Amino acid sequence: MHPFARARERTRALNAAKIERIFAKPFVAAFEGHGEAVETMSRRPESLNAIASGGWDGGLIVHDISRGTHMLRVEAAHKGKISGVCFADENHLLSCGVDRNVKLWDTRQVDENGAGPSESQKPLSIFPGKAAFNSIDHHRSDPLFATASTIVQVWDETKSAPISNLTFPTSTETISAVRFNLSESSVLASIGSDRTFTLYDIRTGKAERRVVMQAHVAAVTSCDWSPTGLEFVSGGWDRTVRVWKQGVGTQPEVYHTKRMQRVTSTLFTADARFVLSGSDDGNVRMWKARASEKLGIIDARERAAIEYRDTLKERWKFDPEVGKVSRTRHVPKPVYKASQIKRTMLDAQRVKEERRRKHTRAGESKPKAERKKVVITEQT
C-alpha cells in the first residue's frame, strides 16, 4: 500500500462531493394549464407518464409528462376547487371537490395524435355527498373508494350512496386526508384537523386505533412516499420542496425557484426518479429525486466512475470537510432566517426543561425520550 494512498483517497472523496454539488441541478420541466393553485395530484398505478392534477379553479388535467401534453383537460370539472383526485384503474379517474360531488371520468384518448377528450366531456358517474369532500383514495384491487369530509365514507363504484360510514366515537374533527394501505388493503388511514391519525378496518367498519400527534412547527401542506419506500417528499408554505431519505433525519434535498409560490401538493413518479410539485402559481413542476443525476444515456465507463465516486462519498461521509460539502444546502434567505429562529427557540426550550428537571425532587421528573414526544395521546 502506498504511504499516501489514504490521503489521495480522501482528496478524491472531497472532489467527488464537490462535483455532486456542482452538478446538482434538479429542475427538469414545468407543466401549465391551471389558472389557479394546484391543490392535488395523483399518479396512474400502472403507468410512468400519466399524472392527474386538480386545481382551485375546478379544472381537471391529466398530464403526459413524457411529451408535455394533456391527455385529458376539463375546465369546469367541479364548481369550486378540486380537493382530491385518484385513478380507479388504467382508464378511469375519480375526482372530488367542495361542491359535494365525486365524479368518475374516462381518460382514454380519442384520436391518434395523442389529444385527449374534449373540455366538454361529461363524467361517467356522479356520487353526491352531504358535505364538502377533502380527499379521496381508491382501493388497490376492488371497485371501492374512500372519501374524507366530516367523516370517512367507503363507496362502491356501482352504487350512488356510501356503503359504510367510519367514525371514531369521540372524534369531532374534520378529516383532512384518507389513504388505503397498499400491502394490507383492508386497512384505511385518515388524518384530522386536530392532529389525529386514525386507522380503520373496512371489513368490520370500525376504527381500530387513534393517535394524537404533535403539530407541525411550520405549515407542511403535502407529502408522498417514494414507491421504493426509502424516500418521501414534502412541501409547504415556505415555498420549498424537500426530499427526505430513510434513516437521515436532517439535511434533506431542498428544491426551490424564484417564481415558485406556496407548495400545495407533492408526488413521486412511479419509477421514483422524479418528484412533482404543485404550487399556488398554477404550475406543476418536475424535479429529479437525486439532484445531481445525469439524464440520458450513460455508457459503462461513465457509470463505473459515478459508482466509484458514490462509494468514496459513503466511505468518507464522516470526514469533517467531506461531510460539510455533502450536507450544505443553499436555501432562500427567508427560509434560512426562519430556521435560525426555530433553532434558537428549540434550544431555549431544551435548556429550560433540563433546568426544571434538575431542580425537582430526585426521581420525581424523568426526561422523556424524543421519539415518544411525537405521540401525545393514544386511544383504542
Number of other residues whose CB lies within 10 A of the CB of residue 151 = 17
The mean of the pLDDT values for the chain is: 84
The percent helix, strand, coil of the chain (3-state, each to 5) is: 20, 35, 45
- HSE-CB for 233 with a 13 A CA cutoff: 28
* Residue 48's pLDDT band (cuts 50, 70, 90): confident
According to DSSP, the β-strands at 69-74 and 82-87 are: unpaired
In this prediction, residue 176 carries a pLDDT of: 82
Tens-digit pLDDT profile for residues 115-131: 554 555 789 999 999 99
Residues 240 and 332: their CA atoms lie apart, in Å, by: 9
Query: Residue 374: pLDDT above 90?
Result: no
DSSP string, 205-263: TEEEEEEEEPPPSS-EEEEEE-TTSSEEEEEETTS-EEEEETTEEEEEEEE--SS---E
In the three-class reduction of DSSP (H, G, I as helix; E, B as strand; rest coil), residue 182 is classed as coil
In this prediction, residue 26 carries a pLDDT of: 93
User: Which burial class, exposed, middle or buried, applies to 115 when counting CB atoms under 10 A from its CB (0-12, 13-18, 19+)?
Assistant: middle
Element (H, E) at 354: helix 333-358
Query: Residue 363: pLDDT above 70?
Result: no
* Residue 61's pLDDT band (cuts 50, 70, 90): very high
In this prediction, residue 217 carries a pLDDT of: 37
* Residue 103's pLDDT band (cuts 50, 70, 90): very high
* Residue 215's pLDDT band (cuts 50, 70, 90): very low
Which residues are CB-contacts of 128 (< 8 A; sequence separation ≥ 6)? 100, 101, 160
Q: Percent of the chain beyond pLDDT 70?
A: 87
DSSP string, 13-82: HHHHHHHHHHT---EEEEE---SS-EEEEEE-TT-SSEEEEEETTS-EEEEETTTTEEEEEETTSSSS-E
More confident residue, 184 or 98: 98
What residue spans define the domains of the chain?
1-23+292-354, 24-288
Tens-digit pLDDT profile for residues 145-192: 999 988 889 999 989 899 988 887 656 677 888 888 877 888 888 877
Q: Which of 186-190, 243-247, 291-295, 327-331 has the lowest mean pLDDT?
A: 243-247
- Could you say which of 3.90.1300.10, 2.40.40.20, 2.130.10.10, 3.30.565.10 is the CATH number of the domain covering 24-288? 2.130.10.10
Q: Average pLDDT for residues 259-286, to the nearest whole number?
A: 90
Query: Residue 23: pLDDT above 80?
Result: yes
Q: Indicate the pTM of the whole model.
A: 0.76
Residues 193 and 215: their CA atoms lie apart, in Å, by: 10
Query: Which triple of cell numbers denotes residue 374?
Result: 411525537
The residue among 323, 259, 310, 315 whose CA lies nearest residue 285 is: 259
* 63-77 burial: b if 16+ Cβ within 10 Å, else e: bbbeeebbbbbbeeb
Residues 289 and 294: their CA atoms lie apart, in Å, by: 11
In this prediction, residue 170 carries a pLDDT of: 58
More confident residue, 202 or 118: 202
* Residue 312's pLDDT band (cuts 50, 70, 90): very high
In this prediction, residue 105 carries a pLDDT of: 92
Tens-digit pLDDT profile for residues 70-97: 888 888 899 989 999 999 988 899 999 9
Which residues are CB-contacts of 266 (< 8 A; sequence separation ≥ 6)? 41, 222, 223, 224, 233, 234, 235, 241, 275, 276, 277, 278
Number of other residues whose CB lies within 10 A of the CB of residue 206 = 13
